[in-house]
Amino acid sequence: MTDQASRRRIEWAAFAAVLLVAAALRLIRLEDNGVGTAYYAAGVRSMLQSVWLFFYNSFDPAGFISLDKPPIAFWIQTVFAAVLGYSGWAIHLPQALAGIASVALLYRLVRPLGAPAAILAALLLAIMPIAVAIDRSNNTDSWLILFLLLAARTALRGRGLSLVVAMALLGLAFNTKMLAALVCGPALLAGWLLAGTLNWRQRLGWMTAAAVTLAVVSLSWAVAFDLTPQAKRPYAGSSHDNSMLELIIMHNGLERFVRNRPTPAPTPTPAQTTRFVAYDAVPVGPLRLAAPALAMQFAWTLPLAVLGAVFAWRRRRAQVALWSVWALTYAIVYSAAGGIFHGYYLSTLGPPLAALASIGCFELWKRGSTHLAVGLGAAALWQGYVAGASLGWTSAWVGFPAVALLAAMAAQWRAKRPPAVIGGVALLVLPAFWSLSAVFAPGNLTLPSASLPRWLGIDDGRGPILSRNWGALTDDPKLQAFLKEHRGNARFLLAAPNALLAAPVIIRTGQPAMAFGGFFGNDPVMSVDAFAKAVERGEVRFVVLATNRRTRDFERWVRTHGTVVDPSLWRSLPPEPRRAIVLYDLGTKS
């Protein structure tokens, strides 16, 4: 066997081992995550029931209101559920597979820079905590990342047609998570420009064609949705004007930077509020992503990524430009997002940071022991800061960055290989165990995260929040049995002010439940008069209201025209303080 053949076999064995690690972290105990985000799971349950509901991305089986995200990821989940049967495992599986595919694709993207760099990049993404957490959920980010990686691989070919195809793939990413996909556009363009040899006239022609392709693919579904008469489609969830284009611009666009809607209702308890803010509301600013609460999700090797971007620029401009611009644009957006922001959005930073960190490692190796020592030392100090702030400075876990720091010092005056290997392995320990926490202590399934403190039994402030707690109130078999028994000919099994309360009923029964206020209860889906007419037509009989929701016209009308149903008839558990619901029967009062 030649040396080259032997190296190839070792490379493929290492790559297979990385894929096995990625698969294990994403598939083991996947069924323990239940249905994940109930809002999305209810939509999949609804879309299984007809092609019409499927196309319009309906939240409920009646086609009353749509989900507030684009459809591609949910279409894929629905297909898996149709084949495998509806279950939490079936709707999580597509994202797990997408995550594994992203690890493999990142390997292929970095491979031109060398097999060791490609293997390390794939490994860093495989064990990145937020990547593992998001790939074990039914959120759409896993598919967004896969489409972006496919677009990156295509753009780096540098040919004219490759840019058009890359923009078509970016359009698919747009139909997975709307404007979040377009943040990667400058990176794809930068990589394509530096990878190609076309003259500027040819480039302008192909860029024009690519821009048209991006616009057509991106807006195709939204325009089709909006052109459908409103009476023949669901209301566009989380929009003010029943328009998918408005949803793109406002809720999934400007409102990510400036929150201009009323405070969501129902209102959480003080403990719940603390948990919600602790995770999502790290103050905006240039150092936002350096806050340990966010950095521990994705940035364990950040210093190596920065050094990789600096030292590899001259050798691999197209690759380094693509990854650097990708990381920089998303970092700027997330640092400035003062409206709706969740920590799991940071999963989009996973591929560029993994690629740049692996490139950085091997650039430092080539430049000698001093550069290597500086790189390992910087990474060790950074990990010590993140781990110390998260676990306490006296925690034994801080010992791993300390070992890496000692190895960095040793690499300067000893043969660099042994201490460098020891230091590198030590730097992988914390992200690996952090990612394992997403498997064995998943915590809040609505806002996926990884947390070693949570796995160790330390309160990390990321327990159940609003949607999970309130949804549990209607996820009551006794309530659902009562509704089915007394529903009569009503079209909707239940009406609720928001999707948080309606989703569990749809998931468990597959029957229509009306969320007349949309996701959080703030959407002007229908007027009180329209609701009253629906009651007159016999479409709605039972309505559930939260006890601590501030009174609005809908609630006032329901309380005036409805009769409170004795809780002993439908509630399994006693109500919790400041967190309860009341069931009204609109069929017993004129």
Which tens digit of pLDDT belongs to each residue from 299-316? 999 999 999 999 888 778
Alpha-carbon separation of residue 83 from 80, 86, 87, 91, 94 (angstroms): 5, 9, 11, 11, 12
Report the C-alpha dihedral over residues 214, 218, 221, 227, rounded to 10 degrees: -80
Burial of 185 (0-12, 13-18, 19+ CB in 10 A): buried
Other CB atoms within a 10 A radius of the CB of residue 128 amount to: 32
Indicate the pLDDT class of residue 461, thresholds 50, 70 and 90.
low
Q: What does the pLDDT read at residue 152?
A: 99
Q: Which residues contact 146 (CB under 8 A, 6 or more apart)?
A: 98, 99, 101, 102, 105
Q: What does the pLDDT read at residue 266?
A: 41
Q: Which residues contact 501 (CB under 8 A, 6 or more apart)?
A: 470, 471, 473, 474, 515, 544, 546, 581
Indicate the pLDDT class of residue 256, thresholds 50, 70 and 90.
confident
- Among the residue ranges 205-214, 248-257, 478-487, 539-548, the one predicted with the least confidence is 248-257
DSSP 212-259: HHHHHHHHHHHHHHHHS-GGGS-B-TT-SSS-HHHHHHTTTTGGGTS-
| Nearest-angstrom CA–CA distance, 364 and 382 | 17
Q: Are 305 and 353 in contact (CB under 8 A)?
A: yes
Q: Are 395 and 389 in contact (CB under 8 A)?
A: no
pTM: 0.94
| Nearest-angstrom CA–CA distance, 15 and 10 | 9
> Contacts from 81-86 at CB under 8 Å and sequence distance 24+?
81/44, 81/45, 81/48, 82/48, 86/44, 86/45, 86/48
Indicate the pLDDT class of residue 440, thresholds 50, 70 and 90.
very high
Per-residue pLDDT of 545-556, as tens digits, reads 987 666 688 899
Report the C-alpha dihedral over residues 69, 73, 74, 77, rounded to 10 degrees: -160
Q: Are 548 and 98 in contact (CB under 8 A)?
A: no
Give the closest residue to 503 by CA, choosing from 36, 84, 93.
Answer: 36
Alpha-carbon separation of residue 511 from 73, 138, 331, 542 (angstroms): 23, 21, 42, 13
Q: Which residues contact 85 (CB under 8 A, 6 or more apart)?
A: none
Residue with tokens 């896993």: 142
DSSP 311-368: HSTTT-HHHHHHHHHHHHHHHHHHHH--SS--GGGGGGGHHHHHHHHHHHHHHHHHT-
Dihedral angle sign, alpha carbons of residues 312, 316, 319, 320: positive
Indicate the pLDDT class of residue 264, thresholds 50, 70 and 90.
very low
**Six-digit token pair at 539?**
């479409």
Q: Are 162 and 210 in contact (CB under 8 A)?
A: no
Other CB atoms within a 10 A radius of the CB of residue 21 amount to: 18
Per-residue pLDDT of 482-541, as tens digits, reads 999 999 999 999 999 999 999 999 999 999 999 999 998 999 999 999 999 999 999 999
Q: Which residues contact 218 (CB under 8 A, 6 or more apart)?
A: 170, 171, 174, 175, 181, 182
Mean pLDDT to the nearest integer, 358-385: 91
Q: Which residues contact 109 (CB under 8 A, 6 or more apart)?
A: 118, 121, 149, 152, 153, 156, 319, 355
Q: What angle do CA 374, 377, 379 make, to 5 degrees?
A: 110
Q: What does the pLDDT read at residue 270?
A: 35
Q: What does the pLDDT read at residue 260?
A: 54
Give the closest residue to 364 by CA, choosing from 309, 406, 308.
Answer: 308
Helix, strand, coil share of the chain (percent; to 5): 65, 5, 30
Indicate the pLDDT class of residue 282, thresholds 50, 70 and 90.
confident
Q: Are 123 and 117 in contact (CB under 8 A)?
A: no
Helix (H, G, I), strand (E, B) or coil at 549: coil
Helix (H, G, I), strand (E, B) or coil at 288: helix
Percent of the chain at pLDDT exceeding 90: 77
Per-residue pLDDT of 380-431, as tens digits, reads 999 999 999 999 988 899 999 999 999 888 877 766 678 888 999 999 999 9
